[in-house]
Amino acid sequence: MDSLTQIVLGAAVGEAVLGKKVGNKAMLYGAIAGTIPDLDVFASYFTDTVTAISIHRGFTHSIVFSVLFAPVFGWLVSSYEAYKNVKDWSWLFFWAFLTHPILDAHTTWGTQLFWPFDLRLAFHTIFVIDPLYTLPFLVFLILAMMQKRSSRKRSFYNKMGLLLSSSYLLLTFLLKWLALNQFKAALKSENIEYRAIDTRPAPLNTILWNANVETDTAYLLGNYSFFDTQPISFEIYPKNHQLLGSLAEDANVKRMMAISEGWFTITKKDETLYFNDLRFGLLSLEPKSQNFVFQYKMDVDAFGNVQFTEMPKNNRDGKKLLSDLWLRIKGN
């Protein structure tokens, strides 16, 4: 999830663990702890694109990290704060560290919660930024912050924030299931045979859902809003995996295939190949768009190894997408 959401979650968890004993400092340290796992993004400044992608939401988003580093941060904070209980501070950091990847596991990218095992947990039930999750949570956190630490209202407001946000997460599983059934029904009505189907919410909401459908030679991309009145339609995107040729045996290419969980297409422009990760969809609702959220240019270096470079995103595309999304959410 986005940084603000993780800060809010961390602060609320910190309050739940230690708020009665240290007041707003529990929220402060909880908020800090809630951001620490995402420091792995700095790996992109020190390594290649593929390695940075594989590191993101890896070790720092694992149970192992929570267990190993919570006592370290607990000891560090207790060494200069007036409240000296190392165990209590360690519990605060442990739960703030652990709830961060658990929340991230609901997104499309997912997390390696069980690192070092090569298993990425991704439920695909919530977009990385969802105001319906974050804003009510934030309001209740602010209300709690304004109360005295011994006040019952403080505890009530914080618990309400945690309860509402958690309930919304559970609701997204139901919404995903309902949307999935709609996509399956549409495929059945069109007599489309498919290997696999993957669904996820469109940006900023859980009303409009996207689907990737794998067939033998192509992927079908479609979207569905709970306000739709017209049948679901699908756009066809050829896999073009054969364009890789011998490059398919390159180590970095194999890693990108694994990272994308097989949901990728290859496109060719001016003799240059591009790797398109389908899990995150498109930056456009226009038919036949090739404006993928994550598109990587593939270059072969002097040693014959494939190097990936993420293509920059255009801010104008993002603004137009937000406008188009609002219209699409209201139905087709």
Contact 134, 8 (CB under 8 A): yes
| pLDDT score for 320 | 85
Angle at 285 between CA 279 and CA 286, to 5 degrees: 125
Nearest to 273 by CA among 256, 242, 293, 297: 297
Q: How far apart are CA 195 and CA 238, in angstroms?
A: 14
Q: How far apart are CA 60 and CA 186, in angstroms?
A: 40
Local structure of residue 2 (DSSP, 8 states): -
| pLDDT score for 200 | 96
Output Rg (C-alpha) for the chain, integer angstroms: 22
Q: What is the number of other CB atoms lying within 10 angstroms of the CB of residue 269?
A: 9
| pLDDT score for 322 | 86
Q: Is 80 exposed, middle or buried (0-12, 13-18, 19+ CB in 10 A)?
A: exposed
So where are the chain's domains? 3-135, 190-332
Question: Could you tell me the sign of the dihedral formed by the alpha carbons of 143, 144, 148, 151, in that order?
Answer: positive
| pLDDT score for 316 | 73
| pLDDT score for 306 | 95
| pLDDT score for 44 | 73
Torsion angle of C-alpha atoms 247, 249, 251, 252, degrees rounded to 10: 30
Question: Could you tell me the sign of the dihedral formed by the alpha carbons of 182, 186, 189, 191, in that order?
Answer: negative
Which DSSP string do the residues of 181-238 spell out, in sequence order?
HHHHHHHHHTT---SEEEEEEPTT-SSEEEEEEE-SSEEEEEEEETT--S---EEEEE
Q: Which residues contact 181 (CB under 8 A, 6 or more apart)?
A: none
| pLDDT score for 267 | 96
Q: How far apart are CA 321 and CA 43, in angstroms?
A: 29
| pLDDT score for 155 | 95
From first to last of its 332 residues, the chain has per-residue pLDDT tens of 999 999 999 999 999 999 999 999 999 999 999 999 999 988 777 888 899 888 889 999 999 999 999 999 999 999 999 999 999 999 999 999 999 999 999 999 999 999 999 888 999 999 999 999 999 999 999 999 999 988 999 999 999 999 999 999 999 999 999 999 999 999 999 999 999 999 999 999 999 999 999 999 999 999 999 999 999 999 999 999 999 999 999 999 999 999 999 999 999 999 899 999 999 999 888 888 889 999 999 999 888 899 999 999 877 777 888 889 999 999 98
Contact 211, 223 (CB under 8 A): yes
Contact 154, 147 (CB under 8 A): yes
Q: Which residues contact 313 (CB under 8 A, 6 or more apart)?
A: 283, 293
| pLDDT score for 54 | 87
Please name the amino acid found at residue 21: K
| pLDDT score for 45 | 78
Look-up: residue for tokens 């549409």?
A: 186
Decide: pTM greater than 0.75: yes
